[in-house]
Structure 1
Amino acid sequence: MFPLERQKKILELLMIKKVIKITELTEELEVSVDTLRRDLNLLTEQGKIEKIYGGVKLVESTFGESSIDERMISHLKEKEMIAQKCSEFINDGDCIYIDSGSTTYQIAKYIKNKKNLTVVTNSIPVVNELLNSDVELVIIGGKVRKNEKSVVTYEYLFNFSELNILKAFICASGITIEKGISDYNLEEAITRKKMIELSKEIFVAADSTKFGKDVTIGIASLDKIDYMITDHNLPTHFVNQFKKTSTNLIISQN
């Protein structure tokens, strides 16, 4: 196993167990203590983990929003199922918007064989995923949020009102019946609001842990959202509440 693979595995294990002993890691990864120590030192320097007596733990995010790297491996199975369900709504010849985020990123993996597809995005990981495919790529020009690997403040370089976006796939950090969808970052929220305004159909792709949360910046009320796609872990009371709204709630299955 290469160092990067081991380090990713360490983070995946910590997302599940939160705290792991050094002895557990050496057995799980089948490496020596010295090799493991080098990986842990690097992850510590990057601010991703914290050493404690006899083991390590994840560093808690300071401002509520976890990093994109953490979210890429958190609830991964659920996000893949959500993305696969989203891909069923994408047809050959569509022009779509894929938002920055760990759930919407997964959509890119399922659409590489679509014909005459145009993807507008502000997500650098989405661009990297689709770079060697036949998908036509349009990336928002503007300021790069390095920690989120996204591009915001689109008005710097491009007039997106000229684009005919059929479907926008948007992420959210919080979803409530009363307030709709919300996010932690103002610039991300502004970009999402603009894409919702420009697009004919709006899909929100979010795992079930985002429901019941109303975080810092409001993006859109539910009457602006056509489809809400989430995983099968969503509590029943949310399902019942959505029946009273105009938003179509779609549950991805195992």
Structure 2
Amino acid sequence: MDPKTRRNQIQQIVEENGKVEIDQLTEALQVSHMTVRRDLALLEEEQKLIRTHGGAVLPKALVKETPYVNKETKELHAKRSIAKESLSLIGHGATILVDSGTTTFELVRLLKDRDDLTIITNDIKIAAELVDAKPRCIVTGGEVQSKVGALYGAHAYDLLRSIHVDLFILGAHAVHQNVGVTAPTLEKAKMKQLMIEAAEQTWLVCDTSKFNEKSFAHVCELHEVEGIVTDDRLNDEELDLFHQTRLKAPL
């Protein structure tokens, strides 16, 4: 079988099943693992599939920005579990950067009685939650993103370049083992990158619906974060994919 015909057959198998394992392809096509991996790499370059650990899946549309009102109650149980698990990351007297988002919002709600903390955020809803709370709150400033409440722009960039903090709690729109963390816009990706640079450690907090997804603008590779706090819905294969990030999943 010539390479083009073989790759067409691989694409057809993936389209029929939604996903496929390398072992299945080697058996079906009677070729080596190396040949299959090379074919999958070429098909991914042509955006016909997305490689996974041990196989491939159909490509999905890029994850785009979601208005706050549409996501504040989505996956709420998972977000609250993640927030509770994340509390152990925040030491006494810490200065922390908290990214915009609904999962990070749930974490901040649990920190409202901590008078030993300084919280810096680029989210006006998080800042509003801290108005009558005990932590010291600093807002990055900048332009407000319509229907989302995140802050970005030159004023925010200048502040982030001028500070150094203990910990950054990073939110994510999309997380993929090959692409890393991505965001819907270049501006949002730049904010996250500057926050990473300003922090001693970065921990990613996101529910499992964000996994195996891709968005427009690259934020960082997975090895650049200290670890991931997520919910308990990952299967064994997915856990293996992300083990290098010291993923932390609440029960």
The TM-score normalised by the length of structure 1 is: 0.71
**Partner AA of 2:122 in structure 1:** N
Structure 1 runs (4+) deviating above 3 angstroms are 154-159
Structure 2 CA distance for partners of 1:235 and 1:135, relative to 1, 3 Å: same
Instruction: Report how far residue 153 of structure 1 moved.
Output: 1.3
Q: What CA distance in whole angstroms lies between the structure 2 residues aligned with 1:127 and 1:77?
A: 22
Structure 2 CA distance for partners of 1:156 and 1:168, relative to 1, 3 Å: closer
**Structure 2 unpaired stretches of 5+:** 1-62
Give the structure 1 partner of residue 166 of structure 2. Answer: 166
Instruction: Report how far residue 211 of structure 1 moved.
Output: 0.5
The answer to whether 1:249 aligns with 2:216 is no
Give per-residue Cα distances to partners, 1:219-252, cap 9 Å, x unaligned: 0001111011100112321101122x2x110001
Q: What CA distance in whole angstroms lies between the structure 1 residues aligned with 2:205 and 2:238?
A: 15
Instruction: Report how far residue 86 of structure 1 moved.
Output: 1.1
Q: What CA distance in whole angstroms lies between the structure 2 residues aligned with 1:190 and 1:130?
A: 25
Q: What CA distance in whole angstroms lies between the structure 1 residues aligned with 2:198 and 2:180?
A: 18
Give per-residue Cα distances to partners, 1:136-177, cap 9 Å, x unaligned: 111011111121111101446843333221110111111111
**Partner AA of 1:251 in structure 2:** A
Give the structure 2 partner of residue 178 of structure 1. Answer: 178
Q: Percent of aligned positions with the same letter in both sequences?
A: 22
Number of residue pairs matched? 190
The equivalences for 1:199-214 within 5 A come to: 199-214=199-214
Which has the larger Rg?
A: 2
Relative contact order higher in (CA < 8 Å, ≥ 6 apart): 2
Give the structure 2 partner of residue 234 of structure 1. Answer: 234
Give the structure 1 partner of residue 98 of structure 2. Answer: 98
State the superposition RMSD in angstroms.
Answer: 1.8
Give per-residue Cα distances to partners, 1:172-230, cap 9 Å, x unaligned: 11111111101112211110011011111101111001100111111000111101110
Contact 2:140 2:156 in 1 (8 A): no
SS in 1 for 2:84: helix
**Structure 1 unpaired stretches of 5+:** 1-62
Structure 2 CA distance for partners of 1:240 and 1:219, relative to 1, 3 Å: same
The equivalences for 1:138-153 within 5 A come to: 138-153=138-153
